[in-house]
């Protein structure tokens, strides 16, 4: 039977964590990786070449990559820019993503906080200067920066009292989230005006939906109730969405199905389904948006195409961790010695036969495997 490769049937994106890159390609994720243009461009060439050498059969990387004027790596996620603009110290490590050190502002300091001028503060000040220099040399700039999310950034400033104040001081929380939301959109719009994208550094899968899409990182929404989200964060996100379109939501928690009916009120065209969520319920609540399922050690049944309103959206599969044995539609092939196993899709599954079958992929160690259907 002829074999259809994954990149022909389902476009694939592999996102490895910094530890893997450090061990495999010798890349150091210190401050220079993010903020020094020559280092960033050199490492970008290395990453594209390594991806091709290891996973070129999956459509990854380039055989002979040329330097390009990249302002932010699309191959790792590191949401430190917004906390840094709000005065959080950023801790860099050679084999890990940058980590903001919590500030734990007093309640009075939070109430008095003002939105900073992002153009005059580290690190955006340096990145804007880099863009000017790169555009002067190359004539264009590519990439963007991870703009993180409301609760993620707020927690670095507030600590665990953030969640108590959803009940005890909701006005203070709303004011802080509005400030962070305005700052996030300011930065995203500034990058998109120069490069055409604003969230590829959050998740490269947005490029399969709309490269200009803004993806808001709602990692921490799983820590609040849908009622709290509706009462306080939803209006802030609606104001964000009014400023920047198209709008997408990253939700890596295992309870998207609980929040999805409220997310529908943001007008998002794309959502990421955290492992443990009920994808069918999410699809029913968000029928016209593109769905992207994050997957780990569980089997998700792909929603049927053309089956009522739930079939109108697109479905993307994102897997992490170790997988499991595939169905008969998958042929197991081994890569080079010491490389993880991959599953390649047989041509028989390219038609209607596959649309209700399990999409099973055994994932790469330390990687996220993203499939777009």
How many other CB atoms are found less than 10 A from the CB of residue 372? 18
Residue 318 has pLDDT above 50, yes or no: no
Residue 260 has pLDDT above 50, yes or no: yes
CA distances from 21 to 33, 47, 202, 314 (A): 12, 8, 17, 31
Task: Give CA–CA dist 70/352, Å, rounded.
Answer: 40
Q: Which residues contact 275 (CB under 8 A, 6 or more apart)?
A: 252, 254, 294, 295, 296, 298, 320
DSSP symbol at 337: T
Task: Give CA–CA dist 182/179, Å, rounded.
Answer: 5
Q: What is the pLDDT of residue 293?
A: 60
Share of the chain above pLDDT 90, in %: 65
Q: Which fold has domain 6-372?
A: TIM Barrel (3.20.20)
Residue 304 has pLDDT above 90, yes or no: no
How many other CB atoms are found less than 10 A from the CB of residue 328? 9
Q: Where are the domains of the chain?
A: 6-372
Residue 118 has pLDDT above 90, yes or no: yes
Q: What is the pLDDT of residue 59?
A: 82
Name the more confident of 214 and 324. 214
Q: What is the pLDDT of residue 370?
A: 40
Provide the β-strand partners of residue 367.
16
> pTM, whole model, 2 decimals?
0.81
Return mean pLDDT, the chain: 80
pLDDT tens-digit readout, 234-259: 999 999 999 999 999 999 889 999 99
pLDDT tens-digit readout, 162-214: 999 999 999 999 999 999 999 999 999 999 999 999 999 998 888 888 999 99
Query: Quick check: 221 and 258 in contact, CB under 8 A?
Result: no
pLDDT tens-digit readout, 25-59: 999 999 999 999 999 999 999 999 999 999 998 88
């Amino acid at each position: 039977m002829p074999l259809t490769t994954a990149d022909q049937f389902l476009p694939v994106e592999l996102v490895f964590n910094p530890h893997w890159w450090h061990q495999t390609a010798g890349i150091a994720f210190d401050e220079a990786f993010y903020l020094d243009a020559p280092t960033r461009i050199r490492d970008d060439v290395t990453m594209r070449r390594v991806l091709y050498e290891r996973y070129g059969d999956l459509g990854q990387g380039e055989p002979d990559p040329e330097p390009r004027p990249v302002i932010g790596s699309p191959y790792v996620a590191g949401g430190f820019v917004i906390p840094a603009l709000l005065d959080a110290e950023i801790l860099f490590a050679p084999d890990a993503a940058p980590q903001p050190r919590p500030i734990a502002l007093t309640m009075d300091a939070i109430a008095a906080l003002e939105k900073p001028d992002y153009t005059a503060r580290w690190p955006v000040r340096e990145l804007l200067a880099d863009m000017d220099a790169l555009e002067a040399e190359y004539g264009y700039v590519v990439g963007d920066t991870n703009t993180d999310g409301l609760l993620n950034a707020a927690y670095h400033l507030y600590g665990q009292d953030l969640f108590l104040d959803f009940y005890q001081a909701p006005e203070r929380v709303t004011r802080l989230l509005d400030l962070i939301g305005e700052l996030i959109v300011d930065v995203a719009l500034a990058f998109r005006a120069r490069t055409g994208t604003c969230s590829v550094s959050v998740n490269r899968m947005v490029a399969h939906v709309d490269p200009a899409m803004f993806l808001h990182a709602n990692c921490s929404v799983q820590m609040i109730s849908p009622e709290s989200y509706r009462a306080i964060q939803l209006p802030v996100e609606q104001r964000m969405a009014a400023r920047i379109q198209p709008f997408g939501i990253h939700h890596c928690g295992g309870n998207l199905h609980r929040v999805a009916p409220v997310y529908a009120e943001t007008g998002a065209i794309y959502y990421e389904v955290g492992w443990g969520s009920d994808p069918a319920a999410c699809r029913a609540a968000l029928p016209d948006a593109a769905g992207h399922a994050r997957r780990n050690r569980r089997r998700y049944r792909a929603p049927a195409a053309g089956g009522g309103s739930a079939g109108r959206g697109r479905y993307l599969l994102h897997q992490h961790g170790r997988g499991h044995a595939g169905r008969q539609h998958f042929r197991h092939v081994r890569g080079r010695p010491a490389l993880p196993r991959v599953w390649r899709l047989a041509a028989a599954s390219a038609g209607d036969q596959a649309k209700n079958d399990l999409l099973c992929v055994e994932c790469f160690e330390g990687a996220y495997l993203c499939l777009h259907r």
